[in-house]
Structure 1
Amino acid sequence: MSDETSPDAGGDGTAASADGRKGMSRKKMAIMAAVPLLLIGGGVGAWQAHLPPFGGGGKPAPKVAAAEGGEAGSHRLLLSVPSATANLDNGAGRTVYVKMTASVEVEGAETLAALQGRIPEVQDIFQTYLHESRPQDLHGSGFYRLREALLRRLRVAFAPLNVTNIYITELLTQ
């Protein structure tokens, strides 16, 4: 009896266990590949949804100045600059005019009244840069270069204060 059961049980048991190991290893490989992908996907989803470990759950981030005790000049003020008109360097003998209106965002100033006295300086920076420009410099990506150049010059002129942005509200060429 042991001869009959041994070959049948051994043959069937060995074949079944070999098939079971192959099937189990494929399942394990699929699970081992799926788990990291799900974790990465969940992390990316949480990051984009600004959930607590990544973005604070929708709460605004505390400002550095507030953590230091709230300095008096840490808020941003918007300085509206009247229109500046300048003629552009055309080089062809034909006069081309440009009119620009902008607002400057300044951080670190005490009051808006303190900044009002610097409007002529800002207008001078605008007119000087515009007078040095050519009409083709203001087309396409030249608008971006205009904004960056003016922002750079304003940051130098307002040195202890921080000029954070410039908003060009009107730019007309004729």
Structure 2
Amino acid sequence: MSDEATTPDAGGDGTAAQGEGRKGFSRKKLLLLVVLPLLLIGGGVGAWQAHLLPFGGGGKPAAKAAVAENREAASHRLLLSVPSATANLDNGAGRTVYVKMTASVEVEGADTLATLQGRIPEVQDIFQTYLHESRPQDLHGSGFYRLREALLRRLRVAFAPLNVTNIYITELLTQ
């Protein structure tokens, strides 16, 4: 077989047979088929990142503005420390069980901490009312999570124009 490829054809110099085996793919065509799509993809990604494309949701300036607003709102969060609240739990067996809870409430939207200081008795009342309705079994296990969520829900209703974002229970003692 190698003898046939090296022997010249009748009327030719042997280069025509080698050129037909490559089927017309030159280096220029191969370069265009590989490099051109890579350049187009790279340019599209660059335009996407630079927010030059009118379609798609990859880089909306409005999303960046919303993130900036969230950062600004996070800087206006105030932490209100609430003194200890003591309540007796509903035991039902005639034995008295006491609970003592200390917490901090994170409030967003208030101007100063002084305006929130006047609402501490209201927060303590919410704590004591909920704790008095609870049983000792309600505070064990996942009951701590339910306690936190119920207090957070009641505080959000009480502080309606303001937003209570979190509650940090720093002490919870039962006796």
The TM-score with structure 2 as length reference comes to 0.61
Partner SS state of residue 92, structure 2: coil
Match of 1:63 in 2: 70
Q: Deviations over 1:21-75 (max 9, x none)?
A: xxxxxxxxxxxxxxxxxxxxxxxxxxxxxxxxxx9xxxx8553757xxxxxx971
Q: Larger Cα Rg: Structure 1 or Structure 2?
A: 2
On the 8 A contact 1:102/1:168 being kept in 2, the answer is yes
Q: Deviations over 1:96-115 (max 9, x none)?
A: 00000000000000100000
Match of 1:80 in 2: 81
Change (3 A) 1:81 1:64: closer
Match of 2:133 in 1: 132
Q: Distance in 2 between matches of 1:122 and 1:92?
A: 29
Match of 1:92 in 2: 93
Aligned residues with identical type, % of pairs: 92
Match of 1:156 in 2: 157
Query: Which structure 1 residue ranges, 5 or more long, are not aligned?
Result: 3-54, 67-72
On the 8 A contact 1:74/1:108 being kept in 2, the answer is no
Partner SS state of residue 90, structure 1: coil
Q: Distance in 1 between matches of 2:93 and 2:69?
A: 55
Q: Deviations over 1:129-165 (max 9, x none)?
A: 0000000000000000000000000000000000000
Q: Distance in 1 between matches of 2:69 and 2:161?
A: 24
Q: Deviations over 1:74-106 (max 9, x none)?
A: 710000000000000000000000000000000
Query: Which structure 2 residue ranges, 5 or more long, are not aligned?
Result: 1-8, 10-63
Which amino acid in 2 is paired with 1:143?
Answer: F
Which amino acid in 2 is paired with 1:92?
Answer: A
Q: State the number of aligned residues.
A: 143
Q: Distance in 2 between matches of 1:62 and 1:160?
A: 18
Q: Distance in 1 between matches of 2:166 and 2:70?
A: 18
Which amino acid in 1 is paired with 2:149?
Answer: E
RMSD: 4.0
Q: Distance in 1 between matches of 2:114 and 2:105?
A: 14
Partner SS state of residue 63, structure 1: helix
Q: Deviation above 2 Å: which 4+ runs of structure 1? A: 60-66
Change (3 A) 1:104 1:98: same
